[in-house]
A = this chain, B = another copy of it.
């Protein structure tokens, strides 16, 4: 885990596995990871609903998971088994982002990079521009969901302690 490329690939590997398992388990949906990028631009434009959770410790960073409103609604309905409003959609996005981040945190901990999580917050809007200039590495991937037009995307910006 000594260089940025290895760290980036490790993160994408963990996130891919987590997202696929999470969608399977939580909402019985098949999520197919894209090729992924180990050099994601530090400034990205999102639209829809984007959950974020900060990491701090031997790895410092932030995880963003972005869902279209359609996807967020579907997931919240599947989890709750009833019609949902904005509050439930926000909850679902926050909770899924927290689960992805939590799993990333434990896997990084297993690799000797202990860190802890901040609370999840959810940002909703069109053309939300996110910038994490101080991060040593930026990785991202998109996950196509069967039956949905827009993929879910996950961005992780992080700096590993030497």
Contact = CB atoms under 8 A, between A and B. Distances in A.
B126 A125 contact: yes
Interface string A57-69: 1001110100000
Contact of A62 (B54, B87, B124): B54
A94 B133 contact: yes
* Copies of this chain in its oligomeric complex: 2
Interface string A119-130: 111111111111
Contact of A118 (B56, B127, B128): B56
Contacts of A134: 94, 119-120
A123 B129 CA distance: 5
Nearest to A159: B119
B123 A123 contact: yes
Interface string A78-95: 000000000100110010
Interface of A: 43, 52-57, 60-62, 64, 87, 90-91, 94, 116-135, 157-159
20 contacts: A53-B54, A54-B117, A54-B119, A55-B56, A56-B56, A56-B117, A57-B116, A61-B119, A62-B118, A62-B119, A94-B131, A119-B135, A119-B157, A122-B131, A123-B123, A123-B128, A124-B131, A125-B128, A125-B129, A126-B126
